[in-house]
Structure 1
Amino acid sequence: MARGDPSPLADLGVLAAAAPLRLCWPSARSPVDWLEFDHAADWARFVERLRPPPGLPEAVERKFLRAQGLYRLGWIDRDLIKAGELAALIALELAVRDRYGRLTGRKKPAFADLLTYMVDGDGLTDAALPVVARCGGSVVGQVTGDISPRLSDIRNGMAHGDPFEGPPIGGLLEVVRDLIAYAYRDYLAERASAALPGSAPDRSLPT
């Protein structure tokens, strides 16, 4: 699928869900709100607006787009949203391992260590995240573990337990998108300033 394609559901818009898709998601009204989608196209457009910033390393972008695709298909089977959550957290882990893995002072830092470094070493605050600026609330607490459940614990529970247990986690895809964008903010700025007209920048992860 080409980047920017609105959805793999483009040809499935005639399918009606058994009931409207209703899920908890942060909004401008509240960090804990309920959104309802009556049509596949509306849901597809909502998920497409959560696309990652252009220019990420291809491996990270590919994993995040996989998560997006699973969210879109959640219109047909709600369990696929849960699969999309795990895919999103895997994309986040790859991103923070790439950006901070050599900086934590640990030989093999765990996902939780990398998230902690994002705050303690790279200065992440709630004010830096668009989802918090738009909706209020706090994300940093779930990055550091000050608020439960921690993002790394959510990933561990899904990866080593039942990934389909419980309802979808409100706003997870949007939170992950913003965290990845923050981790790569300097990388993206450097690539943009160094890019030559007509050239294709190297988007591979360092080895």
Structure 2
Amino acid sequence: MNSTNKTAAKLVGVAVLMASLSFAAVPFYDWFCRVTGFGGTTLVAEEAPDQILEQTIKIRFDASTEVGMPWEFKPSQRTMTVRIGETALAFYEAYNPTSRPVAGTASYNVTPDAAGGFFSKIACFCFTEQVLQPGERVEMPVSFFVDPEIVKDREGKFVKEITLSYTFYETPLPEEQAALTTAADGKVN
């Protein structure tokens, strides 16, 4: 093999390696954010900590939908003050004003970013896909707490207010629901 072929083979190898790494980057970054709370990604917990502090923190709730998502989506309350370490329960309301079933998935984050590693959800509507039937209105709960370790963190100890934001995106109906909808419309698959 001459030097031109060796160089070409090395360049193809580098291109394949770079393409492989680019596909791995998104899941790796998602995993990193979920584990560390980086970028305002919240954590998931089985239960709240044993320690509840007297110190409180204000939680703001925000809701939006992507362009084209037909749902109406809003928090049931705009703010809540909770003790750090205490389990809290908040609700969001979604309404499907259309004449068809619509499926959606919520993405979420908290701000400031420094709070992401200390804001944990125990249960949340955002963990699963939601399907609303025509005209259906639902209240969707989220159970959460702010970890007491926030008061020891060099950046977290200055956080006095956290905003929990959700954005709902329309997703394809689950196969079962899509088949029912198609059958009800009188269409043949």
* TM-score of the pair, normalised by structure 1: 0.27
Structure number with the higher helix fraction is 1
* TM-score of the pair, normalised by structure 2: 0.29
Structure number with the higher strand fraction is 2
Greater Cα radius of gyration, structure 1 or 2 = 2
